[in-house]
A and B are shown apart, each in its own frame.
Chain A
Amino acid sequence: MRAQFVLSEIWIGLRRNLTMTVAVITTVAISLALFGGGLLINQQVSQMRQYWDERVTLTIYMCTEISNSTTCEENGPATDKQRQDIQSDLESMDQVKSVEYVSAEQAFKDFQDRFANNQAMIDAVRKGDLPDNFRVQLVDPTKYQAVANEMQGRPGIDTIYDDQQVLEQFFGLLDGLTTAALTVSFVQLAAAALLIGNTVRLAAYNRRKETGIMRLVGASNFYIQLPFLLEGAIAGLIGGIIASGFIVAARFLLLTRIQQWFQFDVTLSTGSLLSVIGVSIILGVLLCTVASFLTLRRYLRV
């Protein structure tokens, strides 16, 4: 095998087919960027899910003077006795991992901390507007309904919120985004494969004289096909590297913004980012090589 000879043939081939090569690289880069973006969101969502599964709580708001639900109006504000009963009942339930009582003062303070940089929110809520509540952590967050049913309607309890339900809506949005990105990327990848097939066919036609002579003097099929395959692989690699740029940009611009926005303390690790990039590049190289190979089988016979 003469590496230098093969490399110079590849270089000639890539240059001769420059416009098509650029088209292939662009298509591959775009499709892989979408693919990688989809994977990235997917990984981010699963990490956030895991994070919130550990922290998600059921929040039971107690009746206050200003509560206007029917139970509260019938029974009046929650009494200390009711609070004690509810707390001990919750603690005795198998589904419940822990119970934390948050007093009205604490709730107000938490609120102010959370929106420290949002004066409008702080101004809108006065002390006493926020009811005291129980933050209940469940063993299995999906069993929310069973616990909620048990507590719903008890005197002293206003409303029950499941943090997960709120989060699920958001996660569902991200899931949809993932599916959309992956679907579009697969369509794009298919288009890229067809484009590569066409490029290789054109390249094989352009070089029919060379390949004809190669065949005549007894070059092996592998040797005849190698420059085409490597051209495909190189185009895939370059496309993959460009896509990596987009993926890194998406990670630092888009995901970081989502995290800041939702105050999630979940950062995608460098490891996952590298694995997404690795998978994308490998996919690009494989796709291009396989598409070249399949085309060559049809257009470069012995």
Chain B
Amino acid sequence: MIHFENVTKVYTTQKHPALEDVSIDVGKGEFVFLVGPSGSGKSTFLRLVLKEEKPNKGRVHVAGKDLARLSNWKVPHLRRRIGCVFQDFRLLPNKNVFENVAFALEVIGKPRRFIRKVVPEVVELVGLEGKADRMPDELSGGEQQRVAIARAFVNRPQILLADEPTGNIDPATSIGIMKVLDRINRTGTTVVMATHDAAIVDSMRKRVIELEEGEVVRDQTRGVYGQAY
């Protein structure tokens, strides 16, 4: 599903590469934690998957497509197959829960009837039934992140990328978020989650890829956060 082949990314303003000679394979339906300290290149990895950035060296394949050969006007279609969740939720403050989730479908031109049908389903899937009319500032951080997940998932993407989704949320609430991500993963969606939350990684026992200064230093199935060799 995601295939990195000797990928190196150097930002023009930076001397040290953000990613260096990274080769990673993520299969369909996998759940992968991307761990490592701040600045180790986790977000850069996710941006390369979205084609928000281009690698300086190496190849990136996503959903069977070589991104280097994907023309710019096709990038939106790539992104429709990928859902994204961030630490800062990125909700529209003047739209309620339903509208925030529906926004993702409206801007890709989905018909209104379809939107009215699928949005409530997804709102329920993330555990927000009965809160569809709330505005973001009437929700807790955990609930806001659920809205963001619902928006990322409403178009049934093949891949869900989560960049430190629990970074702004207390540990107890984080468990609920992880349950939602796990539920989404069980529908067959590939999930890649960047985090440095050790407790979460340890509790989930999923594949762990560790980055350090842009290099892969560990790739372990059913891994934990701290080194376990």
Residues of A within 8 A of B (CB): 1-2, 5, 209-210, 212-221, 223-224, 302
Q: Is the CB of A213 within 8 A of B108?
A: no
Query: Which residue of chain A lies nearest to B151 when distances are taken between CB atoms in the complex?
Result: A217
Taking the closest CB of chain A, its distance from the CB of B106, in whole angstroms, is 5
Q: In the complex, what residues of A have CB within 8 A of residue B108's CB?
A: 217-220, 223
Q: Is the CB of B109 within 8 A of A217?
A: no
Q: Is the CB of B103 within 8 A of A2?
A: no
Q: Is the CB of A218 within 8 A of B103?
A: no
Taking the closest CB of chain A, its distance from the CB of B194, in whole angstroms, is 16
Q: Which of B106, B107, B111 counts the most chain A CB atoms within 10 A?
A: B107
- Mostly helix, strand, loop or mixed at chain A's interface? helix
In the bound assembly, the distance between CA atoms of A214 and B80 in angstroms comes to 10
Q: Is the CB of B92 within 8 A of A210?
A: yes
In the bound assembly, the distance between CA atoms of A1 and B110 in angstroms comes to 8
Candidates A1, A212, A218; contact of B76 at CB < 8 Å: A218
Q: Which of A209, A214, A217, A220 counts the most chain B CB atoms within 10 A?
A: A217
Chain B interface size range: 20 to 34
Assuming the A-B contacts A2-B112, A5-B106, are A218 and B80 also in contact, with contact meaning beta carbons closer than 8 angstroms in the complex? yes
Q: Is the CB of A2 within 8 A of B73?
A: no
Q: Is the CB of B79 within 8 A of A215?
A: yes
In the bound assembly, the distance between CA atoms of A265 and B82 in angstroms comes to 72
Q: In the complex, what residues of B have CB within 8 A of residue A5's CB?
A: 106-107
Q: In the complex, what residues of A have CB within 8 A of residue B112's CB?
A: 2
Assuming the A-B contacts A1-B109, A219-B108, are A213 and B72 also in contact, with contact meaning beta carbons closer than 8 angstroms in the complex? no
In the bound assembly, the distance between CA atoms of A221 and B104 in angstroms comes to 14
Q: Which of B76, B103, B108, B152 counts the most chain A CB atoms within 10 A?
A: B76
In the bound assembly, the distance between CA atoms of A214 and B95 in angstroms comes to 14
In the bound assembly, the distance between CA atoms of A5 and B79 in angstroms comes to 21
In the bound assembly, the distance between CA atoms of A220 and B80 in angstroms comes to 10
Q: Is the CB of A216 within 8 A of B84?
A: yes
Question: Can you list 12 residue pairs at the A/B interface with Cβ under 8 Å?
Answer: A2-B106, A2-B109, A2-B112, A5-B106, A213-B103, A213-B107, A216-B79, A217-B155, A218-B82, A218-B108, A221-B73, A223-B109
Q: In the complex, what residues of A have CB within 8 A of residue B15's CB?
A: none
A-B contact sample (20 more), CB < 8 A, given A213-B104, A217-B84, A302-B76 = A212-B90, A213-B90, A213-B92, A213-B103, A213-B151, A215-B76, A216-B50, A216-B84, A217-B80, A217-B151, A217-B152, A218-B76, A218-B82, A218-B155, A220-B73, A221-B73, A223-B107, A223-B108, A224-B107, A302-B72
